[in-house]
Amino acid sequence: MGAKAITVTSGKGGVGKTTTTANLGVALARLNKRAVLIDADIGLRNLDVILGLENRIVYDLVDVVESRCKLRQAMIRHKQFTDLYLIPAAQTRDKTAVSPSDMVEVVNKLRQDFDFILIDSPAGIERGFRNAVAPADEIMVITNPEVSAVRDADRIIGLIEAERKGPAQLVINRVKPEMIRRGDMLSADDVTDILAIRLLGIVPEDEMVIPAANSGVPVTLNDSSRAGTAFRNIARRLAGEKVDFMQLEPPLGAFRRFVQMLLSGRQ
């Protein structure tokens, strides 16, 4: 049974594609799934840093495509998980070094040895995006509950359908429940209504993401992190488990719980 290849994309930059890819990779490894992560952002290498593997890079994706090394040589094994690998991006300026068919070929070679192949797409809608989606079996669109991110996500969803890789699934990242309650942030329902694709996960804004990136230890390894828990839940859903969405509302105080109990009795 071959691997499932999932491309993580967004349209807009900075919404959390790399963070999501890294954390899902680690979360899947914790579920004993074999995973390989591919950084498809040529020229702007990032996935290695988030995973803490930046000083282990010898070869990269472009070296593989241009046959300067074997595929295995470019695969960096994670320190902690023996079945988690990274193929880093090149830091060249030539974005045409890789073509969509190159990507398909690389991914096909990986299929038999892994359960999941996660491809971290660059931002934008040009060649980097097309390279990243070419080998995908499924596409995960990351967005933030914010107007420009949602608009770009919509555009990318349209392009995904045009490439016949739809329907995509949605992850809403950096959600702030308190702001939603105040009416100052789009809710998950709002975003899902607008984009009209299936919701795969909701990840709350979590300060712990930054120190995690600082130390190169993905936040999902921190069991007390809410974002980490959300990533773990998404990984479980990818693995076929049915997982309820996290209760993101701030927990009610005792008085409010009492009142809510009274009210539900009346209803």
Partner 1 sequence: MAGFWDRILGRTRTAGSAETAKERLQFVLLHDRISLPPERLKMMKEEIIAVISKYVAVTGSDVDIALKQRDRHSNMLIAEIPFLKGIQPPRQDTVDDEIPLLTHEQDGDVNLSEVHDTRADSLNSELPPEATSSNKDQDLDRASEDGMSD
Nearer to partner 1 (CB atom), residue 91 or residue 260 = 260
Nearer to partner 1 (CB atom), residue 69 or residue 259 = 259
CB of 207 to partner 1, least distance (A): 23
CB of 183 to partner 1, least distance (A): 3
Helix 188-195 vs helix 147-162: angle between axes, to the nearest 10 degrees?
A: 40
CB of 155 to partner 1, least distance (A): 7
Give residues in contact with partner 1 (CB under 8 A).
146-147, 150-151, 154-155, 157-158, 180-187, 190, 193-194, 196-197, 249, 252, 256, 259-260, 263
CB of 147 to partner 1, least distance (A): 5
In sequence order, the β-bridge partners of residue 119 are: 7, 38
User: Is the separation of the CB atoms in 105 and 54 below 8 Å?
Assistant: no
Nearer to partner 1 (CB atom), residue 183 or residue 240 = 183
CA distance 23 to 221: 8
Looking up tokens 């060649």 gives 127
CA distance 117 to 6: 6
CA distances to 26, 107, 162 from 61, in Å: 20, 11, 26
Nearer to partner 1 (CB atom), residue 44 or residue 199 = 199
Q: How many residues does the chain have?
A: 267
